[in-house]
Amino acid sequence: MAAAIKSRLAPLPARPRAAAAELPALAGADFIDLADFTPAQFTALLDWAAALRRHPKRYGRLLAGRGLAMIFEKPSLRTRVTFDVAMQTMGGYAVFLDFTDSPLGEREDIADVAHNLELWLDAIVARTFEHASICELARAARVPVINGLSDASHPCQALADFLSLRLLFPGFRAPARKSGRLKLAYVGDGNNTLHSLLEAAALTGIEMSVATPPGYEPAVAVWARAQRLAAATGARLTVGNDIAAAVRGAHAVYTDTWASMGQEAEATRRARDFAGYQITAAVMAQAAPGARFMHCLPAHRGQEVAAEVIDSPASIVYLQAENRLHAQKAVLASLLGAVPGARATAKSS
């Protein structure tokens, strides 16, 4: 499957095209929600991630001597490993802080945690249950804070996903108003992953259609924010309950677990409500010829996706996972002012 994926990669620039103009402005900033960035900045991050992916050794000392604090209230495989490896492979280091038994803010005020960590380390990534915890951490810390996942959004995942789409579809960067633009379909829960995907779709001007069971639509505030972004880029976003309408003509079909971490008590009810929203071979057949399947992982085969789909040549779930590393590297280097031409700055308090 890896060879098949590699053969479809679109040509990419050896160096970030837009970094000189856009990424220096991100030095010292936070990475909380994709809606905080302009379309040009998001495109620059994709360019930068692509360059880091293509030439990892060229940028092996970008973060020499820099340190990252990693706060985790939830278990993690991809986020924890890729941030750790990203720091190491760019010459830095990471310190893991286990908050699974005592949530952030319970043992010590979040502001005090932030003020201590900023004395010793250069950036903070946090994976929390409550989005408000990450926002409070960002308000207090004088170093960049990165959202590694919250109940409201998952921006690092969406950045990696759109890097994956750009690698596979040469027409990804075509103007939104031209016919034949990329269409991404999402089927399932209106959760944090969907929220960030909607914002990414709006920033890049693609078409994105969503199908959720009634009552599981994305948050109203997020939907309104994505629509405002879409108005500026020409993106076309739709949300409904009809799977066939959502996947028709889609170049990629995305799903996520029906019950996320912290929703275990709802698993039985959700399994009933989502029973008709499984991605099967029949669903994929309604998408465009050669459509790809996407999932942020971990996946539950036989629930949100049939095993024959996620394990098929159409699946790009491991490409998405690989690109978490390159996306994380792009975010870290940008916020720490390590992009060529950028200078690190402290956040204003």
CATH number at residue 296: 3.40.50.1370
Tokens of 29: 């900033």
Q: Which domain holds residue 295?
A: 155-322
Mean pLDDT across 317-331: 98
Q: Please report whether residue 25 resides in a domain.
A: yes
My answer on whether 190 and 271 are in the same domain is yes
Q: Please report whether residue 347 resides in a domain.
A: no
Q: Which residue has the tokens 């799903």?
A: 255
β-strand pairing of 123-127 with 292-295: unpaired
What are the pLDDT digits (tens) for 141-196?
Answer: 999 999 999 999 999 999 999 999 999 997 665 444 445 689 999 999 999 999 99
Q: Is 209 helix (H, G, I), strand (E, B) or coil?
A: strand
pLDDT of residue 302: 96
Task: Please list the active-site residues.
Answer: 127, 154, 157, 256, 296, 324
My answer on whether 205 and 93 are in the same domain is no
- Rounded to two decimals, what is the model's pTM? 0.92
Q: Please report whether residue 216 resides in a domain.
A: yes
Mean pLDDT across 131-149: 98
Q: Please report whether residue 346 resides in a domain.
A: no
Q: Please report whether residue 61 resides in a domain.
A: yes
Count of domains for the chain: 2
My answer on whether 129 and 227 are in the same domain is no
pLDDT of residue 173: 56
Q: Please report whether residue 271 resides in a domain.
A: yes
Confidence check: pLDDT of 65 > 50: yes
Tokens of 285: 């057949």
Confidence check: pLDDT of 17 > 60: no
My answer on whether 41 and 147 are in the same domain is yes
My answer on whether 132 and 160 are in the same domain is no
My answer on whether 299 and 249 are in the same domain is yes
Q: Please report whether residue 209 resides in a domain.
A: yes
My answer on whether 118 and 231 are in the same domain is no
Using 50, 70 and 90 to split pLDDT, how confident is the model at 287?
Answer: very high
pLDDT of residue 53: 97
DSSP 167-192: HH-GGGGS-TTSTT--EEEEES--SH
What is the residue-averaged pLDDT of the chain? 90
What are the pLDDT digits (tens) for 196-207?
Answer: 999 999 999 999
Confidence check: pLDDT of 2 > 50: no
My answer on whether 192 and 139 are in the same domain is no
More confident residue, 4 or 260: 260
Tokens of 326: 């390159």
Mean pLDDT across 39-43: 95
pLDDT of residue 348: 53
Q: Which residue has the tokens 């108003």?
A: 177
Q: Please report whether residue 56 resides in a domain.
A: yes
Using 50, 70 and 90 to split pLDDT, how confident is the model at 345?
Answer: low
pLDDT of residue 342: 57
My answer on whether 132 and 184 are in the same domain is no
Tokens of 14: 């050896």
pLDDT of residue 20: 53
pLDDT of residue 7: 36
My answer on whether 193 and 108 are in the same domain is no
pLDDT of residue 97: 97
My answer on whether 164 and 64 are in the same domain is no
My answer on whether 180 and 273 are in the same domain is yes
Contacts of 132-135 with CB under 8 Å at 24 or more apart are: 133/73, 133/103, 133/104, 133/105, 134/32, 135/32
Question: Is the Cα dihedral 51, 162, 169, 203 positive or negative?
Answer: negative
What are the pLDDT digits (tens) for 68-117?
Answer: 999 999 999 999 999 999 999 999 999 999 999 988 989 999 999 999 99
